[in-house]
Structure 1
Amino acid sequence: MIDLEYQAFTKYKKNLEYFEKNHFQLFQKLSTLEIAINSAVYQENYSLEYKNEGYFDIQELSSGNFLYGENSKIYSEKLASTINYHRTGSVFEGQQRFPIKKEELEEIGDFKNFHSSLWATAQIVYFNAKIAPKASSEMQKLYKFIFLETGLGFHIEYIIKKYNISVAFIFEKNLEIFRLSLFTIDYAELSNKTMFFFSIMDTFDALQYTFTSFLNEQFNHNLYIKYLPFSNHYDETLHDLQSITLSQNHILYPYQAYMARSFNAIEKISQGKCFFNIAQTYTHSPLSSKPILVLASGPSLQNNTQWIQKHQEHFLTIAVLSACKHLLHHDIIPDVIVHIDPQEISLSLIEGLDLSKLERSTFIFGSSVHPKVIEKLSNIPIIFIEEATSFKVGHGFFTLPSIGEYATILPLILGAKEIYILGVDLALNPNTMKDHIDLHIASKHISHNHDQDSVEFQNSLCYVKGNFLDRVPSKPNFRLSLTQFHKAILRYKQDHQTVYNLSNGAYLEGTIPLHVNDIEAFKIPLLSKETLSHELSVFLKAHSSCEFRNIDREHIQKQRGNSVAILRKMKELRQITPKEPENYLFRKLIPFVQEISEMDRDARSDLGEILFEYFKITLSFIFDTCNTKSMKDSKKYHKELDNLVLDEVEKVVSTYDQKLREYLSQ
């Protein structure tokens, strides 16, 4: 017994040293708990007990109950035995999958379907489903694994050693229980062959950061990730992980969205459209001395329409385009209208709008807005701000995932000191479960999805801290926006600037919750809207460039040079035919992907960034295809896969090259 205690304590100390060196924040949690226990500041809820039958168990001190209630090692072996190489059963899908029929491939790959991420990936996705069907095939190796709750960790040790897991994510909400596992398994030793990502007693933000880091590590193995829950209480955690997965940048904003963003920006620049210089913060502008009221399309806008209608003359109002139908219907005329959506469907936002009512309104659009929307508003002067690209040299860029937070941060950059936001809910109406105002084109009612292995991103439900309520229902894409909003407010808000959140939605970090009835709006002086409109127009044009300058043309030519270089490289790759799958993946494909990544990092290549996002999608399908057990005619299929990948990548690069040549010829 003394030897067992000594071994357990030695293992515990070794693990602490490992965490101190490699996972310092977790080490601090463990150290704080240990100090609190030793000083009797904290009373333990659980203890590690050694049973006479020769195994350890965890006892809950308040009830006397044991966590395992049987031989913990035998239990863990049985638990681990439920894992196999099948692509079904306890499988976490780290990538979106879409069912594709062979007869649909040609149609999907046509440029008219450029708006879909399947445009240049469908052939690879279909080939994967054909060669490695989910329902009837097995993987050759398990590379990544998710452990939901640790217990004493014996099952973690068994699985990592049996399957030689490369990357493991370990989740445990109870720090005491996790601490006890440090006495029983050697995380330090296991880490010699396995990269660990620990989420122990984390907030959602911390969980999101850690799990995203896990997904980014060897992301080429994310298509099917096996997971093992220690108990039956894991649904909420699994749902959180699914929502985080579907909130990844390459899923929300796939490669072709990046391409469209670049094309739309270059087209507008080459046409001599006016681009505002967003590279600096403006301390003195027409917004600096005015109270700003931001109006977005969340449910709270509809619930406070009468208040807005009554007090609109006291504020400089900034409205998102998707809210304008609702606002104009109630005789609310925005002073500024902002829009960033690149989709053609945005045309429906202006159909039926009485544009004559918006003659004195100032339009500020993101550079990615669809050309047909701009054409529809051809008689209206629009100021553009470049989004996430730098084709307008020296003018900077500014973007956020959705228009509500974009409309909030923009006045901060323009020097506003006092901002009130309404309709930036980033949550559902708790009573109706609707995500937008009724007149919004994408407004829908959301209910819970109970599918364990996958989640429909737009219809998935989660809960977040509320602005006025303890918690409110939300969606994964809203939760991503909450994270991005917090980062943006930290970056752009100065100490002299205040943002009040008037919405009955999510709590927004960096803002002050405030009910509309607590605003003494009548004490705010009335604004001369005509004078304000003129001042805004003069200010924005004075800080904008409205011509296609030589420096802009040269930068675009430089970016096109990257596409020419990649096409030349691909021509060379077509002459290389590896005989084995390992040679194909690690001597041909991966070096190509690494070369593109270095181009993006070293030369700030726009196309390099696009292709990196492209491979974040396709590599999972490519590697999974090659990771199929007992594949017949493997050499034939690997050659076919090689050709498919090169064809699809070339389609992306050739389209990019062609578009830039067109714009440069203007």
Structure 2
Amino acid sequence: MSKTNELEEIQQTLQQIFLNNLNFLKQNNKNLYERLVAFEKLNIENYSIEFIDNRFELIDIKNKTSFYNKDPFIDAKNRVNNFEFSNAFSLIKLEPYEKRNHYENEINAYLYINDFINNFANTSTEINKFVFIGTLLGVHINDFHNSINSKSYLIIESNIEIFRLSMFMTDYTTLAKSSKLFFAIAEDEFNFQKIVNDFLEYKEEFNNLIHYELGDESNRAIIDRLSLQFTQSSQMRYPFSEYLISLKRGFKYFLESKNKIINLSKNYDFLEKKKVLFLGAGVSLARNIEWLYTNQNKFVIVASSAVLKHLQILDIVPDIIILIDGQKDCMLDQFNIKKSMYENSTILCSIKIDEDLYEIIKDSNVFFMQNSLELFRDFGFLSGVTVGDIGTDILLRLGAKELYLLGVDASLDSKTGKTHIGTHRSSRKINLNNNSNSINFQNNIIYVKGNLQKTVPTFMEYTEMIEHLSHKLQFLDKSYNIYNLSDGAYFRNTTPLEIKNLPLENSADIDKIMLKDFLLSSLKQINKQQLNALDIKEIQKERKILKKLSSFNKIEDFLKNFKNLEKTISYSIVINILDNYFKLILPYYTFLKNKPDANEILNAQLNKILNDFNSIYDKISNKI
């Protein structure tokens, strides 16, 4: 065969591979298909495939540089042969958690995970999820698939033209015959995160070790993006055991307390014509505490419970206290103050507050709010990252239209590195020059847009709170005025305002006694006082679900029937909590699946959880 005929045959083969891929995308990924067709019409050519010295090469036309400098097929074999199993994102812990008994005598997610980790020795590793970071011509993608045959692949390429060229040399249809494919091609941040989440949600039981291959050094930054997103999606950030606590304590407080649970599914106008000042535990509060003392009667003072000790320094008694955290030691420490600091305040607290703390405040003006799950449907529940964004959301629902934020910093102090006001239990100083190459959600420092400064240092953990709050605020109409007085992070749709420029000379003092009576009267109007027929029906439904699930002795039968129930039942607290349990635990279970201990551990844990559920609903039924 002549050289010319050989090249023509190669071209025909490449063209056929491309058309097969294009047709596959047309049928299975219409959005990507349409973007590829639109790109082709632009007649842009920054890269090309060239046949040089009897091998293919990917060429950067503008810079006249090549990506491979060797035969791509040899490169692919080298990649597979030299692949390091350490090239993986670990979505599970491989070493046991230190003892963390957050709630005494309660199911503990940390200990449940340790049950599996303690049996990890000599466990063989299977690759079930794999990420290709950068495609180049994609030849190595087929070779990796032939070697590992992963159940799913996430294929990332930031340049749509390079991906299009890979479609000539990579048979993506072959991968798709036995694996699920997820393409993140030249996506913006929102769509990138959505596709990665879809990848994670597919066969979640394999979210343990996700291996990857870096196509080219120019894509290395994507590793950090993925690492951060995987960390943010971790079930341990709010594990199933937290929902169990909310369920157990929520019903206990509903049945025992005088004011019960308020309805947060609607927006009200209670605070509409009032200046509302929300206090967080950021350093900005400490710097302006004397101003607050002088002007406290100009505002409805709303304090997160974390600032009570600091307010006690100048006897500033808040009108409303927001109490979210359920941790015992932390919360008892926050209320280790004079009773006068809270006994006449309106206390809005999560249904998961510690039982010892409840005993301290139960005779005060306490109203509960559903936290993370709905005990009562269509009654609203709190969701968020910190008391800063959750508290702001609560105040907006109660009608605050002139809202001032102070101490809701979501940042470190840019001069001292302090994290919180000095009286806060978690207050510490951070070395702002300490840069780390590894991703640590709670300790890595990054810089974000500042409220009163150009940029401010913060933790990655806080960036999610910033986004969460900004998202809530960006859809408010022009009738809302949110003023950020803090020298911290900027939030969208807020007005940065230095305290010295806040005019209060003509603002009348608020009659705090009348305010207290008004708040109590208003909240009682939206307060659920007793179980109705629908509530009782829902409780009976949950008990039937528990009875059905308890009838399955084999793990395989339990999981199969659980999935069927999940599909057929529109809403169930039991199923939702168990779903969170499985999302957390099954990656550990599948990692250990080839060992006989795996089924035994899973079975024992499920029995304990079902017993806990039955105990909760038995107590409720006995009081109906």
What is the TM-score normalised by the length of structure 2? 0.87
| Match in the other structure for 1:41 | none
Tell me the alpha carbon deviations over residues 436-492 of structure 1, each in whole angstroms, 9 at most, x when there is no partner.
33332223455768576xx5543345555555666654444333334543554478x
Match of 1:651 among 580, 594, 608: 608
Partner SS, residue 565 of structure 1: helix
Correspondences of 1:67-466 after superposition (within 5 Å): 67-83=67-83, 88-99=85-96, 112=104, 114=106, 116-127=108-119, 129-132=120-123, 138-139=124-125, 141-232=126-217, 236-248=221-233, 250-285=235-270, 287-392=271-376, 395-445=379-429, 450=436, 456-462=440-446, 464-466=448-450
> After superposition, what is the alpha-carbon deviation per residue over 1:175-199, rounded to whole angstroms, capped at 9, x for unaligned?
4433433343233453333322233
- What is the root-mean-square deviation of aligned Cα atoms in Å? 3.4
Closer, same or farther: CA 94–33 of 1 in aligned 2, 3 Å: same
State which drifts further: 156-165 or 200-209: 200-209
Shift of 1:282: 3.8
2:577 corresponds to 1:610: yes
> What secondary structure sits across from 1:220 in the alignment?
helix
Alignment of 1:56 onto 2:53: no
Change (3 A) 1:527 1:4: farther
CA deviation profile, 1:198-257 (whole Å, cap 9, x unmatched): 333444443332222211111111212211112345664323322222222622111111
Q: Does the 8 A contact of 2:369 with 2:381 survive in 1? A: yes
Deviations 1:591-639 (A, max 9, x none): 14424534xx605221211111111122112212235xxxxxxxxx43x
Equivalent AA in structure 1 for residue 611 of structure 2: S
Partner Cα separation in structure 1 for residue 314 and residue 40 of structure 2: 61
1:53-103 deviations in Å (ceiling 9; x for gaps): 23333333443222223323322321232236xxx51121122344279xx
> Alpha-carbon deviations, 1:302-329, whole Å to 9, x = none?
4444554454433222221112222332
Partner of 1:530: 513
Match of 1:632 in 2: none
Q: Deviations over 1:341-391 (max 9, x none)?
A: 111123344344233144442211111111111112233220111223333
Letter in 2 for 1:623: T
Alpha carbons of 1:661 and 1:245: their partners in 2 closer, same or farther (altered >3 Å)? Answer: same
Cα displacement string for residues 87-144 of structure 1 (whole angstroms, at most 9, x for unaligned residues)? x51121122344279xx9xxx99984636313334323322x1351xxxxx32x4211
Amino acid aligned to 1:624: F
Does the alignment pair 1:662 with 2:619?
Answer: yes
Determine the C-alpha separation between the residues in 2 that align with 1:175 and 1:143.
26
Aligned residue identity for 1:485? L
Cα distance in 2 for residues equivalent to 1:17 and 1:649 = 46
Separation of aligned partners in 2, 1:145 and 1:317: 51
Preserved CA contact (<8 Å) 1:90 1:227: yes
Cα distance between partner residues in 2 of 1:15 and 1:531: 71
Gaps of 5+ in 1: 39-43, 133-137, 574-583, 628-636
How many residues matched?
615
Measure, in 2, the Cα distance between the counterparts of 1:220 and 1:524.
58
The answer (yes or no) to whether the contact 2:442–2:459 under 8 Å persists in 1 is: yes
Moved more, 366-375 or 463-472: 463-472
Aligned 8 A contact 2:483 2:497 in 1: yes
Shift of 1:258: 0.9
Whose relative contact order is higher, 1 or 2, with alpha carbons under 8 Å and at least 6 apart? 1
- Per the alignment, in what secondary structure is the counterpart of residue 568 of structure 1? coil
Kindly tell me: are residues 603 and 179 of structure 1, through their superposed partners in 2, closer, same or farther at Cα, counting changes over 3 Å?
closer
Pick from 485, 502, 506 the counterpart of residue 469 of structure 2: 485
Shift of 1:277: 3.6
Q: Structure 2: how far apart are the matches of 1:513 and 1:25?
A: 40
Per the alignment, residue 542 of structure 1 pairs with: 525
Contact 2:412/2:418 (<8 A) preserved: yes
- CA 1:498/1:194 → structure 2, altered by over 3 Å: closer, same or farther? farther
C-alpha distance in 1 between matches for 2:417 and 2:177: 48
**2:308–2:335 Cα contact (<8 Å) kept:** no
Supply the distance in 1 between the matched residues of 2:101 and 2:602 (Cα, whole angstroms): 13
* CA-to-aligned-CA distance 1:563-611 (integer Å, 9 cap, x gap): 33322333xx3xxxxxxxxxx7xx546414424534xx60522121111
**Runs of at least 5 residues in structure 2 that lack an aligned partner in the other structure:** 1-6
The CA deviation at 1:28 is 5.6
- The question of whether the paired residues in 1 share the 8 Å contact of 2:552 and 2:558 is answered with no
For residues 210 and 83 of structure 1, do their structure 2 counterparts lie closer, same or farther at Cα, with a shift above 3 Å needed?
same
Does the CA-based 8 Å contact 1:486-1:510 persist in structure 2?
yes
